[in-house]
Amino acid sequence: MSPGMSFAVDTNREDEVQLESRYQKGVRHLCDSGITKVPRKYILPISDRPNSFKGDQNAENLSINLPIIDFSQLQGPNRYQVLNSLAKACEEYGFFQLVNHGIANDAIVKMIDVGRRFFELPFDERAKFMTADMYSPVRYGTSFNQNKDGVFCWRDFLKLSCNPVSEVLSFWPSSPVDLRLAAVNYSKETKGLYLMLMEAILESLGLVGATKEESDSLKEFEDGSQLMVVNCYPSCPEPDLTLGMPPHSDYGLLTLLLQDEVRGLQIQHEEKWVTVEPIPNSFVVNVGDHLEIFSNGRYKSVLHRVLVNSSNSRISVASLHSLPVETIVKPSPKLINEANPRLYKDTDFATFLKYISSCEPKSKNFLQSRRLT
């Protein structure tokens, strides 16, 4: 090889290292640098791009009206009918829209606002919270799993562990100055809502009733894990080439998702990708892998993904809830019988973290790894 060729190879390697370093800093950093095309690192194979699933064209134009659960009705004389609607939504869709949930609009608006302003901070301020430690009380990062993803997705995130808030609050970002107050208030509100929803979920499964023994079973959920994820999906110059998040399912029991007014969330329903229309002042709630396991497959953890667009950035806040980190998740014994044999192995949060840190997460691979053959 001639000296000139060697120099060219070395230069290319140096360029690749510099590019990789830029990608690790996140999509917001790339956008702030003024890019006009999607870098190769973010371009999905043709079969994985939007509009490519089983020949669907213009998939972003296919929308879905998710079942709507009126939370206020759960507290009144129509509880039985609402519980039936809740069970049907979890069985057939794995998702529902929750309205009249009782969380003040002010708490919702402030959480979206501080999330947006966090991602507007200078990169050096955001970078203080970058870490590969999945147990860290606060993590700033990009893509889905930036240490394992072969192709990056068009998303930056701020993850805040909430267990318990009093012990992790000092680690959370202190800028914007109102972030901690808004996030603490929001985490408490969503935790209370989650617990009331889980009581309804358990009742809909026939696992909670009037007896003291059945009511005591709720206590194991009260000290459960809560992770808040603030997602930022910057506007993208070529949105048809990439995704904000790839198809995946959530690991926990329930996720309460707060969306801004920009469309982006899609779920897989009847073998098609369909867009969930945002409803003002509502939550999109979805069944997680742990609830599918706990219900022995009755309630479905459904694939979902996120589209990006060329005109608007998008902010969402996901509050993921499950049992305590060290608790074993397994099918409820009351849901197993001769007609409904056990379908899943025992699991826990540590098993999940070990799994996703060792491979590129795709689809529902973790849940599939828990199935009994």
Please tell me the predicted confidence (pLDDT) of residue 293. 94
Q: What is the mean pLDDT of residues 3-21?
A: 51
With both helix axes pointing from N to C terminus, report the angle between 179-204 and 79-92 in degrees, rounded to the nearest 10: 100
Q: Cα–Cα distance between 253 and 274 in angstroms, integer? A: 23
| 33-46 confidence digits (pLDDT tens) | 888 999 999 999 99
Architecture of domain 3-370: Sandwich (2.60)
SS3 string, 4-54, reads HHHHHHHHHHHHHHHHHHHHHCCHHHHHHCCCCCCCHHHCCCHHHCCCCHH
Residue 41: phi, psi to the nearest 5? -60, -20
Give yes or no for residue 31 having a pLDDT over 70.
yes
More confident: 280 or 295: 295
Q: What is the mean pLDDT of residues 329-354?
A: 88
Residue 38 near residue 240 (C-beta atoms within 8 A): no
Residue 328 per-residue DSSP state: P
pTM score of the predicted model: 0.90
Q: Cα–Cα distance between 156 and 140 in angstroms, integer? A: 8
For 318, the token pair is: 């996901």
Sequence-ordered alpha helix ranges (H) in the chain: 3-24, 27-32, 71-74, 79-92, 105-119, 123-127, 165-168, 179-204, 212-216, 219-222, 289-294, 349-357, 365-370
Please tell me the predicted confidence (pLDDT) of residue 221. 85
| 292-311 confidence digits (pLDDT tens) | 999 999 999 999 999 999 99
Residue 124: phi, psi to the nearest 5? -60, -30
Please tell me the predicted confidence (pLDDT) of residue 327. 87
| 153-198 confidence digits (pLDDT tens) | 999 999 999 989 999 999 999 999 999 999 999 999 999 999 999 9
Q: Cα–Cα distance between 66 and 53 in angstroms, integer? A: 21
For the beta carbon of residue 9, count every other beta carbon within 10 angstroms: 11
